[in-house]
Chains A and B, each alone.
Chain A
Amino acid sequence: MSGTSYGWLVLAFPLAGTLVIAFGWLRPGGLPGRLPGWIASGAILGAFLSSIGALIELQDQPEDARSLVDSAWTYASTGDFKVDLSILVDPLSVFMCLVVSGVSFLIHVYSVAYMDGDRGYHRYFAYLNFFVFSMLLLVLAANFVVLIVGWAFVGAASYLLISFWYRRETATRAGIKAFVINVIGDVGLVVAAFLLLDKTGALDYAGVFAQADQVFTHNDGTLVAACLLILVGAFAKSAQLPLHTWLPDAMEGPTPVSALIHAATMVTAGVYLIARTHPLFELAPAAADVGAIVGTATLVFGATVALAVTDLKRTIAYSTISQIGYMVLGVSVFAYGAGLFHLMTHAFFKALLFMGAGSVISAMGGIQDMDRMGGLRKAMPFTFAAFTAGALALAAFPFTSGFFSKDEILAFTVERGGWYLVLAIAGYAGALLTAFYAFRMVFRVFYGNPVAEARELEQGHLAHHAPANPATGEPEDTDVGFPAEEHHIAERERPMRAAMGPLAVLALLAGLVQVPGVSDVIEKFLEPSFADSHFHDTAPSDGSEWIGLVVGGLISLVGIGAAYHAYVRRRGVTLELRDRFPRVHAFLVNKWYFDELFEALFVRPVATAGGFGRAVIETRFVQGFIVGGATGVVRVGSSFARSIQTGYLRGYALLLLLGVALLALYFLLASS
């Protein structure tokens, strides 16, 4: 089978999974037990194996021919402009497919056990498969049209999954917020596609990139505008400043959803987009610089806020925002291999962290607040080990995967020199904060005195609380639309352990594929996709890379040590700090007041305009004047017509005579 046939299979499996599960729901009683989960996992396993097939086929091709395009049918074809439903199998897309389908498969397996008992089990797996299908469609697209289709589907799937527990008002509001911000990104992307189409006359990647060299000059105005709009799309999807406010709220969704969508796959779509359109960015370095600056600002922002928030899932969410800032920085300084490598390792350890968090929250009976957790180490050894592995990778502990990937990005940034050094220093500062907050989580949750739930679990008895909204505390029931009553922890469910184990191994060891000077797997693999990059040769030497790695390793150790000191040795020092700098703390906990800013700038004026529209325009003008006027005219006319129907025969006769008289008059006049 050819590479593109494998590509179609990669798309077909999750789509088939969605349909089978969706139609299985029609069977009375639905599909039994955990079957929907296993069907979904099987579909994603099929996609993963097909990706491997595509990989093998691709590697069989000679290096300069590793870009296979296949189209299913033509959408539009006029003159010399043609748009197809076509997929592109090249190293970049196969890389993304492997990461997406691999991590998705493990998360599906985890969900099989984690979501058991939920009334929306079928719906969950149908949505999840649909999401993976959309993400793979986005990644395999060969032109902007299919990309935008996949982009929109992914946004829709994200909305569906964030508001999965739809009877929770906080969840539906979060879903709407995510969708609205995503739409802003969609608009940017579509307008960028229009601009590119206008200037280059093509919409497929090959056409656009080939024309770009001839049509655009360096830093051409239209090109910069198009690239900035692409960045808008990327920032909305990848939760970068200022379009990031939806991601922490998206934690309202089930934990595996957070793991899949908001850590490993969907939020990386923006990074993929910048990497895919790299010829345009290299022709318009101004836009790339904007991307680098925003990426750096975001990583600092995310790291600082993660220091202060106490909700476990939201801490990990801000960590995601921060780490994607690293990736955006990487691809914006044209370090594509490094950026995508970090994407891969981040997928591993972030998904692992979320899975661990899910297990912890289950053990706590649904409580997500770290202030109420402590000492779970003895009660949950497996979860502790897995979570710590993820935290080590996040903190870039020496020789973990995060260590190699993050520091490679920073080494590239340093290599670019000039003012990029400022970004690199900010990146290292962010790494210090990252190490600190990663182990803040570990020490607060697993160390210290065991809380009541931990002690119960040590006795072998899973804690149980009355179902309530973790954010607002209002009580709920456990019917459809709300989470299930039963909770599942990794220690008791084999599927959860089966998913977390491989990820822990990968988080710790996956860095070995890209050790500077030793192995170069990722870079070599991705090279054909980026062969046309002008900046490909500005890679740092092995020596400078090792210096960067040493610096990064030291920073990580310092951060972990500081966290150990603050949370284990001298407990309470952070509380003193909080009391001494209340305003700083408030600034961080309120997420730098972005939500309040947007509320004042956008939400409130629009709401006021809407209220005005409803009160004045809708009620008075449309209802009263236009609708009321039309019906009023009809009513008056018909009441007039009704008044003729008196029932008096003589009146009718009079009208008859009148009509005859008028007719005769008309004929008289007409004939004269």
Chain B
Amino acid sequence: MNITWFLVLSAFLFVIGAAGVLTRRNPLVVLLCLELMLNAGNLALVAFSRMHGGQAGQVFALIVMVIAACEVVIGLGIIVAMYRNRLPIDIDEMSELRG
């Protein structure tokens, strides 16, 4: 039961989430993959907290959860606004930040 295994698992989860962000076109799914990455980070934080015996990692993970929740709220709000304004729900169509 090494801590290493937890960390390796967290790395895999992070990587899967990253691949998902890059490959999916539906913004809802992209947000879900972002959640994956955040959770992977949480897992690593809690693992390190167990390793050191201090609780700072767990507090950190709690705050990350709060942030994730806020981000999800706003992200979904944006997607709903997009839907309401009859824009296509496709990340590639939202390409106005260009030079």
Contact = CB atoms under 8 A, between A and B. Distances in A.
A647 B22 contact: no
A622 interface: no
A649 B18 contact: no
A653 B98 CA distance: 14
Contacts of B99: 642, 645
A647 B98 contact: yes
B87 to A, nearest CB: 14
A647 B91 contact: no
| Secondary structure of the A contact surface, majority rule | helix
Contacts of B92: 648, 650
B74 interface: no
A657 B95 contact: no
Contacts, number: 27
A657 B18 contact: yes
A74 interface: no
A646 interface: yes
Q: Taking each of B25, B96, B97, B98, which has the highest tally of chain A beta carbons within 10 Å of its own beta carbon? A: B98
B97 to A, nearest CB: 5
A425 interface: no
A645 B98 contact: yes
Contacts of B22: 650, 653-654, 657
A648 B21 contact: no
Interface string A636-648: 0000001001111
Nearest to A643: B99
B39 to A, nearest CB: 18
B94 interface: yes
A648 B95 contact: yes
A427 to B, nearest CB: 84
Interface string B43-67: 0000000000000000000000000
A625 B92 CA distance: 41
Contacts of A653: 21-22
A646 B98 contact: yes
A647 B21 contact: no
A393 B98 CA distance: 89
A314 to B, nearest CB: 69
Given A642-B99, A645-B99, A650 B18 contact: no
Interface in A655-671: 657
Nearest to A642: B99
Interface of B: 18, 21-22, 25, 91-92, 94-99
13 contacts: A642-B99, A647-B95, A647-B97, A647-B98, A648-B92, A649-B91, A649-B95, A650-B21, A650-B22, A650-B25, A650-B92, A657-B18, A657-B22
Interface of A: 642, 645-650, 653-654, 657
